[in-house]
Each structure stands twice: as structure tokens, then as C-alpha cells.
Amino acid sequence: MQTRLSPAEERRQWASRMVQAALRAVDPAAAVRAHVQLTDSLLQVGQQVYDLSNYRHIYVVGAGKAGAPMSQAIEDILGDRITAGVVSVKYGYGAPTRRIQIEQAGHPIPDDRGVQATQKMIALLEQAGPDDLVICLISGGGSALMVAPVPGISLTDERRLTNALLRSGATITEINAVRKHLSRTKGGGLARIAAPATVVSLILSDVLGNPLDVIASGPTVPDPTTYVDAWQVLERYGLVDQAPPAIIQRLQDGLAGRVPETPKPGDPIFARTQNVVIASNAHAVQAAVEQARRDALHVLLLSTLIEGEAREVAKVFAAIGREICRSDRPVPRPAAVIAGGETTVTVRGQGRGGRNQEFALSAAIQIAGAEGITVVAFATDGTDGPTDAAGAIADGSTLDRASKLGLDARSALADNDSYTFFQRLGDLIVTGPTNTNVDDLYIVIVT
């Protein structure tokens, strides 16, 4: 005889199925195969067709958390037509390949392995000529994994600034505006190195709205940002005095016109470049919506553009859950409110956590004691901040259960220690590397 699930357990099962559906929808290998087909010597990428008999060599380069399955898929399609390749992925995100060399490196803080991998990519691309084809595999995490500081800036300098930017609460767009102006490959730099070869970029987007110049800092895309924009980011977050002197000097040289800008729209180096987004947060969110409907829930797709301070955004989601409980608005019970995006955390405490765990903790405080509400915040890459968790789950009983263990939710939130809080409760979501990355998923279920 099957044991009947409690309402809370049932809500957790629904949430789990939504998350799994979302991940299946943004499987990197499947996305590559859906957008790239080879018939005889004709390679179709999106709406463009390339006659491979016109190319001497095919080089594959790339960076990001989804790089390994993307590499496997492109190898399955092109096989021995690939001359050579180098793709940089996060530690633990590797997979076996035949023609493409997978290099594992540091993320979100770049390391020496990332520099070495990028140097190998540059060496390959410097060989490329007008009758060569370069396929670039780009996914979330690519900014940290494709590392080539401009002359005069060390990896230590870049690491210090990246860490300060990540802790400041700056958005990914702001962070990348700075990174582009300190790198040989970002902000169209990779396309400049590869020119005059034909360049095709397959992009798994981890940025809201899929702005091509922001995803992995746009290595094959014109850069609309300037040294002025980069400098203003440091000023906005009070980082001018914290930034390494070499970086300050580089930005000031850029402001004074002593060093060149990144390639801009209209630059002829992009005349033979195609950029194709093959999967994004919108695909993941839509798959979660469809799964919720299969589970007979009333669904509201709130947005795929959620951003802001995690603890503040969570209050809004919690308020929507409470409103549904109270009045069956804006969607009747049983309800699922689903959204995607990427929040930020301004780190002021000494604890451990990530934006999704902090989101869940803030929501837990807001729904304390409420019957029938479950909140899930989940990072599609399987890694939330500097932890092994992908996110966390909370409901109306979270604070009561925590109190019995001697845990104080508000103290944990003040110390940015959401990981310890949810670990003690057994409410972390731990998936291991998912080998994809399309931002985050937020789910509120009300019964």
C-alpha cells in the first residue's frame, strides 16, 4: 500500500520535477545538435550554411561550464574534420573528448590553469587564415575561464578585482564591462585574434535577455561599452581605492586614449562572424511551466528577467505566495509561480552561501508559520556561490525547525551564512555539476 505524501512533501516533489524538466530543456549537447546539422559537406548553423569544402582547417575553442558536453556534440557532428581544439571548463566539469582538448580551470575566480588554457586557444587562432573556420563554444562562466590579461596586468591583479566585484553587489553586466577592458580575448578580442578566419559562436546564455556582448564578456561580439563605463563601475561600488594599481593605470590610460578601445559595432573583423544563442533561461523556465501544468497546477510565469539583491527579491516572491494563500490571486491554488533570472548578494558577513540559498533564507523568514507555501531557488549550473549546493528549499515550517536546532534565521542572513543554516536542516539542493548554465530558477508553490 502506497504511503500518501504530506502536502509539504508533495510540493517538494512537484518542485523537483520542475527543476529536472528545466535542466533537460537546456541540455548543452542537445542544444548544439538542434542548431547544427551536417549534410555531406554542408554545415548548417541556425539559418546559415557553410560549405566545408571551402575550408582548410576547422578549429574549436571555447570556455564555460557547458563546454565539455558542447564539445562532445560538435565532435559527434564534425568528427575528424576538426583539426584541433581547446575548451576551458570549470574544475569537475570535464568529459572525455577525441579531438578537442578539455582544460579544467578556476571559476568564479580565474587561476593559472585558465591562463594556460587561453594561451593555447590564442596560439591556435593565430594560425587561422581566411580559408579556415573557427567554431567557438561559449557558455556561462566563460569570463572567468577565458583569461588573457592585457600586458602590464597580472593574474593576481585580475583575481583581486574579480573577487571585489563579486562581493560588491555589481551586476554581471557591470562586472563584464570592466573585465572586457582588461583582457585580450573579451569584448570582441577573440574575434580580433581569429580574423580573417570565419567564426561561428554557439552560445548557451546565462545572462538575462541574452545580450551577446555580455555573455562570457562577448569574446566574438562587438563591445558597446567603453573605458568610461568600466571606470564608472569602480566608482559606483567604491572600488577605485581597492583595485590594484596596474588596473587603475590601464583604465586611466584608456580614458586618456593612450591604449586602444575594444572592437566596436561596425568593425570589419566581425564581417565573417555568426553568433547563435542555442539555449537560455527562457527555455528552462518554459519547461518548468509545462511540467507544472502536467502536475495539474495553475501556473503563472512571472518573468525571465529577475534581478536585484537576493534577500529583497525574495520578499516579493514570498508576498506573492502569501497573497495566493489569502485570496487565490494572482493565480488560484494549487498554484506555481515560476520565474528565472539572476540576483546578486552584497557580502557583509563572514558566512558561506550563494544568491539562491540567501534568496531561500530571506523567503523563509517572510513565510514563517504559513501553511501551504514552498519556495525553491536553484542555480541551473549546480553551483550556488562558492559552495557545493545548487540552492535551497524553504516552507512555512523552516524557521520553527531551525529554532529547535538552535539556529536563528535572521542572524544567519545578517552573516550571509545561508549554507550552514540549510545544511543543518537538510534543505540544501545538491545536484553536483549539471554541465549547463542558464541562470537561476525561482519557484513558489502554494496549495
pLDDT at 349 over 60: yes
Contact 131, 51 (CB under 8 A): no
For range 312-319, the mean pLDDT: 98
**pLDDT of amino acid 3:** 76
Q: Which residues 6+ apart lie within 8 Å of 247 measured at CB?
A: 153, 157, 158, 161, 182
Quote the CA–CA distance of 204 and 69 in Å, as a whole number.
12
- Compute the distance between CA of residue 52 and CA of residue 44 in angstroms, rounded to an integer: 10
Closest by Cα among 206, 227, 209 to 217? 206
SS3 254: helix
Indicate if the pLDDT at residue 1 is higher than 70. Answer: no
- Residues 6 or more apart whose CB falls under 8 angstroms from that of 243 comprise 160, 161, 164, 234
pLDDT, position 262 = 97
Q: How far are the Cα atoms of 73, 190, 249 from residue 426, in angstroms, in the given order?
A: 36, 44, 48
Place of cell 579556415: 132
Tens of pLDDT along 106-149? 998 899 999 999 999 999 999 999 999 999 999 989 999 999 99
What is the pLDDT, as a whole number, of residue 171? 86
CA-atom Rg of the chain in angstroms: 23
- Cβ neighbours of residue 330 closer than 8 Å, sequence gap 6 or more: 300, 320, 323, 324
Question: Is it the case that residue 425 has pLDDT exceeding 60?
Answer: yes
pLDDT tops 80 at residue 185 = yes
Instruction: Answer whether residue 172 shows pLDDT above 90.
Output: no
Rounded CA separation 160/183 (Å): 15
Cβ-contact 115, 155 below 8 angstroms = yes
Are residues 410 and 399 in contact, defined by beta-carbon separation less than 8 angstroms? Answer: no
Compute the average pLDDT of residues 290-313.
Answer: 97
Residue type, 70: M
Q: What are phi and psi of 58, to 5 degrees?
A: -120, 115
pLDDT at 405: 98
CA-CA distance, 340 to 284, in Å (whole number)?
A: 8
* pLDDT tens profile 401-422: 999 999 999 999 999 999 999 9
Cβ count near 94 (within 10 Å): 17
Q: How far apart are CA 437 and CA 136, in angstroms?
A: 17
Instruction: Return the pLDDT at 207.
Output: 86
- DSSP class of residue 445 equals E
Only one residue has cell 536542516, namely 425
pLDDT value at 268 more than 70:
yes
Residue 169 has pLDDT above 90, yes or no: no
pLDDT digit string (tens) for 88-112? Answer: 999 999 999 999 999 999 998 899 9
Evaluate if residue 2 carries a pLDDT over 70. no
Percentage with pLDDT > 70 across the chain: 100
At 399, which helix (H) or strand (E)?
helix 398-404
Domains (range + CATH), the chain: 7-22+282-446 (3.40.1480.10), 28-148+183-225+262-279 (3.40.50.10180)
Q: pTM for the full model?
A: 0.86
Q: Which residues contact 426 (CB under 8 A, 6 or more apart)?
A: none
Q: What is the DSSP string of 37-103?
A: EEETTEEEETTEEEEGGG-SEEEEEEESTTHHHHHHHHHHHHGGG--EEEEEEETT-----SSEEEE
| Residue 294 backbone phi and psi in degrees, to 5 | -65, -30
Mean pLDDT over all residues of the chain? Answer: 96
**Cα(130)–Cα(151) distance, integer angstroms:** 27
Terminal CA-CA length for the chain:
25
